[in-house]
């Protein structure tokens, strides 16, 4: 059977396959410590579920406007104005089937074949694949443990060529947990403006930050930066709503309208009643307490996992400033990430994601969005595994 070149060029999503293998082992009754999931395990807060149930009862069961329910677009614009200093109105917002779909739509709408897209590595694994699907060329800006997984304005400038169209910027960053400071972001914004690029800013983890780290949107740096920014976000991570598939983008009206036009021929509107869960997430006063409770749980789990990691010989890890991942460097073990993760799963029943999928083959990703018992047991197993290597 002929499969298009577009799809043959893709790298399969390995994070899903590790998770799937861990799940399959669990289903066979094997006691797996699963640190591979990309999502929080909390249930969606009750008041958000109730809002979607109400919307169902009220008959929000039909096709809706392609760009999103007007109420949700309004609420998102209000949130971005008041919390993020971004002067958007409802017409600057499009609701999509998750942040992932927002990003995919943007690549389809913004790229011509051969256009280069700058991506800082380690990166969220879908960024380069989406660029390729849209005919673009991903160009990596490498970062490492020593730089705290951050790049400088000078490094950004060096990566720019006449074909560069945009930067995909992700802070708080998945998988590294790095959060760029306002000063660092100001420097990056200046290059975007000077070089007349666009920046797609993936801010899906904005509220999952620690130790006083501050999330700032790159679009709030100056009116010139604002004009060149498209913010992408959603409800999946912060409100534990991964299965709802509600995300959004906000940016210049011209781009938003082009996205809505493309979306009208692919998925149409996002599930109508699910969008009312999004409205409740951003307007109900109970939300901030729920988010803070989940964040406090992550604070505790992050601490526990970091403390236990300190007992693992030969792994080095920065304290993440955001997200719910640790991203230890395994280079000192002499193993590459895929063989490391396979052996770890086989011998100790611990599931971790190989850094190779994020463009960092000398790292692994461990999610601490799981309970403390699993963290304690799994980290002991990881320590035995690493000791057994020497
Ligand atoms: C999880 C994740 C997404 C996708 O989120 P959805 O809204 O569930 O599609 C996008 N970007 C990053 C960095 C993520 O971690």
Distance from the alpha carbon of residue 335 to the mean position of ligand 1, in angstroms: 29
What separation in angstroms does the CA of 58 have from each of 4, 51, 53, 76, 155?
43, 10, 9, 22, 53
The backbone region for 292, taken as left when phi is positive above 0, alpha when psi lies in -120 to 50, beta otherwise, is alpha
**38 falls in which pLDDT band (50, 70, 90)?**
confident
**7 falls in which pLDDT band (50, 70, 90)?**
confident
Ligand 1 atom, smallest distance to 124 CA: 13
Distance from the alpha carbon of residue 313 to the mean position of ligand 1, in angstroms: 32
What separation in angstroms does the CA of 202 have from each of 248, 249, 292, 329?
10, 9, 21, 24
Q: Which residues approach ligand 1 with their CB closer than 6 A?
A: 38, 98-100, 124, 170, 174, 202, 204, 234, 236-237, 242, 247
Residue 11 has pLDDT above 90, yes or no: no
Distance from the alpha carbon of residue 211 to the mean position of ligand 1, in angstroms: 23
Residue of 130, 207, 234 to mutate, ligand 1, most atoms within 8 A of C-beta: 234
**40 falls in which pLDDT band (50, 70, 90)?**
confident
Distance from the alpha carbon of residue 223 to the mean position of ligand 1, in angstroms: 27
Distance from the alpha carbon of residue 3 to the mean position of ligand 1, in angstroms: 27
Ligand 1 atom, smallest distance to 242 CA: 8
Q: Which helix (H) or strand (E) holds 141?
A: strand 137-142
How far apart are alpha carbons 300 and 296 in whole angstroms? 6
Longest dimension (CA), the chain: 63
**17 falls in which pLDDT band (50, 70, 90)?**
confident
Residue 309 has pLDDT above 80, yes or no: yes
**390 falls in which pLDDT band (50, 70, 90)?**
confident
Q: Which residues have C-beta within 8 Å of that of residue 91, sequence separation ≥ 6?
A: 73, 253, 256
Distance from the alpha carbon of residue 285 to the mean position of ligand 1, in angstroms: 24
- What pLDDT, on the 0 to 100 scale, is given for residue 221? 98
pLDDT, average across residues 147-174: 98
The DSSP secondary structure of 289-335, one letter per residue, reads HHHHHHHHHHHHHHHHHHHHHTTSTT-B-PPPSBSSEE--B-GGGT-
The overall pTM is greater than 0.85: yes
Residue 15 has pLDDT above 60, yes or no: no
pLDDT, average across residues 182-198: 98
Ligand 1 atom, smallest distance to 234 CA: 7
Q: Which residues have C-beta within 8 Å of that of residue 326, sequence separation ≥ 6?
A: 177, 302, 305, 306, 309, 317, 320, 365, 366, 368
Residue 352 has pLDDT above 70, yes or no: yes
Contact 82, 130 (CB under 8 A): no
Contact 80, 129 (CB under 8 A): no
pLDDT, average across residues 32-59: 94
Distance from the alpha carbon of residue 8 to the mean position of ligand 1, in angstroms: 23
How far apart are alpha carbons 186 and 189 in whole angstroms? 5
Ligand 1 atom, smallest distance to 100 CA: 9
Distance from the alpha carbon of residue 385 to the mean position of ligand 1, in angstroms: 31
Residue nearest to atom 15 of ligand 1 (CA): 174
Contact 302, 358 (CB under 8 A): no
Distance from the alpha carbon of residue 304 to the mean position of ligand 1, in angstroms: 25
- What pLDDT, on the 0 to 100 scale, is given for residue 18? 77
pLDDT, average across residues 233-257: 97
With b for 16 or more beta-carbon neighbours within 10 A and e for fewer, the 259-291 pattern comes to bbebbeeeeebbbbbbbbbbbbbbeeeebeebb
- What pLDDT, on the 0 to 100 scale, is given for residue 313? 87
pLDDT, average across residues 70-89: 98
Q: What's the mean per-residue pLDDT of the chain?
A: 95
Q: Which residue has the tokens 């010139």?
A: 224
- What pLDDT, on the 0 to 100 scale, is given for residue 63? 96
Ligand 1 atom, smallest distance to 233 CA: 7
- What pLDDT, on the 0 to 100 scale, is given for residue 41? 85
pLDDT, average across residues 312-332: 96
pLDDT, average across residues 367-378: 95
How far apart are alpha carbons 370 and 39 in whole angstroms? 9
Terminal alpha carbon distance of the chain: 47
Among 251, 223, 7, 272, CA closest to 106: 251
Strands annotated E in 158-308: 164-170, 198-202, 229-234, 247-250
Residue nearest to atom 5 of ligand 1 (CA): 99
Residue of 76, 99, 367 to mutate, ligand 1, most atoms within 8 A of C-beta: 99
């Amino acid at each position: 059977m002929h499969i298009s070149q577009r799809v043959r060029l893709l790298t399969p999503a390995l994070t899903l396959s590790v998770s799937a293998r861990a799940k399959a082992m669990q289903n066979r009754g094997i006691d797996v410590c699963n640190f591979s999931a990309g999502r929080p395990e909390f249930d969606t807060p009750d008041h958000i579920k109730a809002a979607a149930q109400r919307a169902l009862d009220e008959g929000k069961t039909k096709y809706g406007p392609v760009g999103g329910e007007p109420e949700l677009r309004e609420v998102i614009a209000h949130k971005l104005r008041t919390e993020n200093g971004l002067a958007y109105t409802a017409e600057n917002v499009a609701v999509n089937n998750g942040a992932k779909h927002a990003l995919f739509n943007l690549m389809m709408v913004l790229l011509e074949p051969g256009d280069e897209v700058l991506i800082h590595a380690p990166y969220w694994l879908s960024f380069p694949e989406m660029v390729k699907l849209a005919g673009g060329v991903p160009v990596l800006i490498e970062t490492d443990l020593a730089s705290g997984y951050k790049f400088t304005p000078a490094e950004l400038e060096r990566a720019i060529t006449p074909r560069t169209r945009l930067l995909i910027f992700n802070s708080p960053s998945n998988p590294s947990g790095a959060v760029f400071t306002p000063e660092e972001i100001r420097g990056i914004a200046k290059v975007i403006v000077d070089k007349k690029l666009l920046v797609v800013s993936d801010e899906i983890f904005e509220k999952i930050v620690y130790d006083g780290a501050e999330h700032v949107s790159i679009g709030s740096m100056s009116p010139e930066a604002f004009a060149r920014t498209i913010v992408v976000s959603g409800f999946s991570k912060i409100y534990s709503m991964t299965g709802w598939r509600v995300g959004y983008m906000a940016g210049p009206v011209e781009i938003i309208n082009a996205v809505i036009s493309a979306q009208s021929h692919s998925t149409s509107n996002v599930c109508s009643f699910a969008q009312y869960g999004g409205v409740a997430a951003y307007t109900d006063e109970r939300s901030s307490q729920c988010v803070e409770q989940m964040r406090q749980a992550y604070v505790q789990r992050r601490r526990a996992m970091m403390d236990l990691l300190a007992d693992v010989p030969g792994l080095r890890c920065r304290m993440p400033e955001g997200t719910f991942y640790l991203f230890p460097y395994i280079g000192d073990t002499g193993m590459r990430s895929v063989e490391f993760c396979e052996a770890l799963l086989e011998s100790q029943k611990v599931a971790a994601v190989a850094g190779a999928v994020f463009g960092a083959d000398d790292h692994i990703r461990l999610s601490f969005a799981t309970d403390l018992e699993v963290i304690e047991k799994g980290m002991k197993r990881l320590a035995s595994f690493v000791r057994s290597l020497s």
